[in-house]
Chains A and B, each alone.
Chain A
Amino acid sequence: MFSPPTRHVIGTVVALTATLSLSACGNKDGDGSAAESCVDTSGDSIKLGFLNSTSGAMAISEQTVRDSLTLAAEEINADGGILGKEIEFVEEDGASDPAVFAEKIDKLLTSDCVAAVFGGWTSASRKAMLPVVEANNGLLFYPVQYEGLEASENIYYTGATTNQQIIPAMDFLASEGVETLFLAGSDYVFPRTANKIIKQYAAELGIEIVGEEYVPLDDDDWTTQVAKIVDAEPDFVFNTINGSSNVGFIKAYYEQGLSPETSPIISVSIAEEEAPAMGKDVTGQYAAWNYFQSVQSPANDVFIRAFQDRFGSDRPTSDPMEAAYTSLYLYKNLVEAADSFDVDDINESADGVSFDAPEGTVTIDGDNHHIAKTGLIGQINADNQFDIVWSSEEPIEPDPFLEGYDWWDPTAE
């Protein structure tokens, strides 16, 4: 098949390739310990990484987080920096793609040598970054409410875990005398896990689940699923849909004659930013968060004024934005409590570090790296702001694995 000279050349190329490949032989006995940190703390500035999606499906949401991180960095710099060092932030685009998040956080930690990274939105993006940040013994601050069941030494979670958002929402529903509940969610890990918790807690509270429907994240067609809600006539609809799929859901909901008077919705992903973008008047619907723009506190007045001065008076503030803003200040307080930028030093003295955040004073739990947060339920008013109708009063201690709840059985369906 091959002529002699051809065979000769092929042989050379193959042999060359094989030799070169083998020359880079692996090391089976290596302990694979984390690479030495390359963070430079000798200068007048300290590098931090902001990793949010500025392109792709999540860009609309994540850009707001980028803006509030920028604001916090500018404020801290104007106030003398962290341990006297000015923050120099490196921006990267996660492109709404988990593999890109993994690549970019690697770049930030090993090429830019940032002291900490702030960002991520979807659970997929956080899960993708987790092994990288652990391998490099770096730090990640993640600002979005999520499904819990995680506590990495290298991540600080400044959004709510389930016992600070899902469980308070259920407590609110129980206090309203709700007897039947319909679950509608996007088809991914947060809604699936949230609904698993909701179903088990509902059994405990005596609330009947009359339906459970999922639609893929980027799918806008909720027509058939909403028809099932119409048939089931639930007292409330628990909405764990994320992103633009909410628009399709809300559209179908109102077009098929449902309303807050018959089967109101309680959402965990619709905030000040999203409410006006729903294409329908959503006045009277509910949302569970730990911060609303309407929270009354001096710190919140300062935050809202600073944000609107910087980015425009028409821009609302929301829970993830506030959690991101808080995360940078918490990092400052963590570094100053440890008097060091070293990750191990910071973790050592993390327990009890607090910040007077716009949502109220938040405190870090040194064991699970989450923060204590107050659970709030808001009802959307005509201005697309939320009237706070229920509060857990006290900050709720984070319990990502729901160890303090007897009814929780992680292996049950």
Chain B
Amino acid sequence: MKSLVRTFGPLVAIAVLAVLLLVVAPAVLSPFRLNNLGKYCCWAIAAVGIGLAWGRGGMLVMGQGVFFGIGGYAMAMHLKLEAAGPEGIPDFMLLYGDGTMPGWWEPFRSGAFTLFAIIALPAVAAAILGYAIFKRRVKGAYFAILTQALAVVFATLLIATIQETGGFNGLNQFTFFFGYNLYDPVNKKMVYSIAAGLLIGCLVLVWQLYRSRFGELLIATRDAEERVRFLGHDPANVKLAAFVVAAVMASIGGAMFAPIAGIISPSDVDATASIFLIAGVALGGRALLLGPALGALAVGYGRSTLSESFPDQWTYFLGALFIAVILLFPAGLASAVGRAARLVVRPKEATP
């Protein structure tokens, strides 16, 4: 019984979350609130990846905004070209550029290529970067600073290339999502469901990874990298795999964020946005399966509602909330849920 709970408990929790997100939420929330929840889901998808890399792998990835941005901009470029029509070019290039489109935009006309790019671009980028970092055994604070710097560089690059990426304004004014009109409430609901479904999918994948040999190796690498090396495994490969998966998840989150938020701009992918993702993971509990996702959902929700209720003071409330959670539940909010569940389960076990 006990082992069954341990094995399938997390799956039941994921199933409950799936029902809440995919059945309950669309039924009870207004279109605006549902759309907001969709945004939180996108952050949660990226957060699940951070949970894998940081919580299980011990790599404090402070620059996930970069990968979130790669997916977000890839999708936004496709949506922008879809809005412009078969031969058209994006409006901002006509307004602020010389009216010509850079060649590297052209492949993003194809939906299939865009979907491929959303997975492949961050994977390749993370693989090259990770290989260089982990083979040189860069870790700890140095790794964190490196990834953070990357987010700064990425945002600066976007801002400086107005004619190619829209600069500080970013990309917005999308009308279609793979043929579906984004102004139609039914289609907005569909886009939300895809994002929520992808979140559930990522959770199931990570659950399986945690249970696998790879998951064991990842924790071992986190806790005693040298011992793993002595046992004949290369820790760099283990970390690299986790880093690449985290990057792809961030990219998927970003790709869904663009049509749901209706915009992607450097302020959604810069260092501050990256730290905001980390904050959600820390709040929820980085080492737990559902912690990062729940944390990201909670932070997104908190940011929206607190700023609506206290438009002038909300940032202080959010800060106070972080301090309170870190003091009371150092392992994150999800650990509190786990603790409560154990209190319920234990008395039953006591009776033979």
Contacts and interface: CB of A to CB of B under 8 A. Distances in A.
Interface of A: 1-2, 6, 9-10, 12-14, 16-18, 20-21, 23-28, 30-35, 54-55, 91-93, 95-100, 102-104, 106-107, 110-111, 122-124, 127-128, 130-132, 135, 149, 187-189, 192-193, 196, 216-217, 410-413
Contacts of B347: none
Contacts of A30: 181, 184, 186-187
Contacts of A131: 172-174, 262
B98 to A, nearest CB: 6
Listed from nearest, the 6 A-B pairs whose CB atoms lie closest are A32-B181, A20-B22, A26-B190, A21-B197, A32-B183, A188-B168
Size bracket, chain B contacts = 35 or more
B36 interface: yes
A63 to B, nearest CB: 9
A34 B11 contact: no
B44 interface: no
B304 interface: yes
B32 A110 contact: yes
B98 A411 contact: yes
A130 B175 CA distance: 12
B197 A187 contact: no
A361 B162 CA distance: 37
Interface stretch (B62-70, B102-110, B220-228, B311-319): B311-319
Contacts, number: 184
B351 interface: no
Given A30-B184, A107-B308, A188 B201 contact: no
6 contacts: A12-B15, A20-B18, A25-B190, A27-B186, A34-B183, A107-B308
Nearest to A109: B32
A157 B352 CA distance: 75
Contact of B8 (A1, A9, A23, A35): A9
A13 B14 contact: yes
Interface in B169-197: 169-170, 172-175, 179-187, 189-194, 196-197
A2 B196 CA distance: 25
A107 to B, nearest CB: 6
Contact of A128 (B8, B179, B201, B265): B265
A237 B209 CA distance: 60
Interface string B235-274: 0000000000000000000000000011111011000000
B187 A216 contact: no
Dominant secondary structure of chain B at its interface with chain A: helix
A230 to B, nearest CB: 24
B204 A189 contact: no
Contacts of A135: 183
Among B7, B170, B183, B261, the one with the most A-chain Cβ atoms within 10 Å of its Cβ is B183
Among B7, B26, B31, B267, the one with the most A-chain Cβ atoms within 10 Å of its Cβ is B267
B18 A95 contact: no
A412 B98 CA distance: 6
Contacts of A106: 32, 35
Contacts of A149: 95
A76 to B, nearest CB: 21
Contacts of A128: 169-170, 172, 262-263, 265
Given A17-B197, A32-B181, A188-B167, A110 B31 contact: yes
Contact of A103 (B170, B183, B191, B304): B304
Contacts of B35: 106
B304 to A, nearest CB: 7
A123 B162 CA distance: 13
A98 B26 CA distance: 26
B162 A192 contact: yes
A102 B196 CA distance: 21
B286 interface: no
Interface in B276-317: 304, 307-308, 311-312, 314-315
B267 A24 contact: no
Interface in B121-174: 156, 159-160, 162, 167-170, 172-174
A132 B92 CA distance: 18
A193 B163 CA distance: 11
B92 to A, nearest CB: 8
Nearest to A149: B95
B180 A111 contact: no
B39 interface: yes
Among B8, B162, B304, B307, the one with the most A-chain Cβ atoms within 10 Å of its Cβ is B307
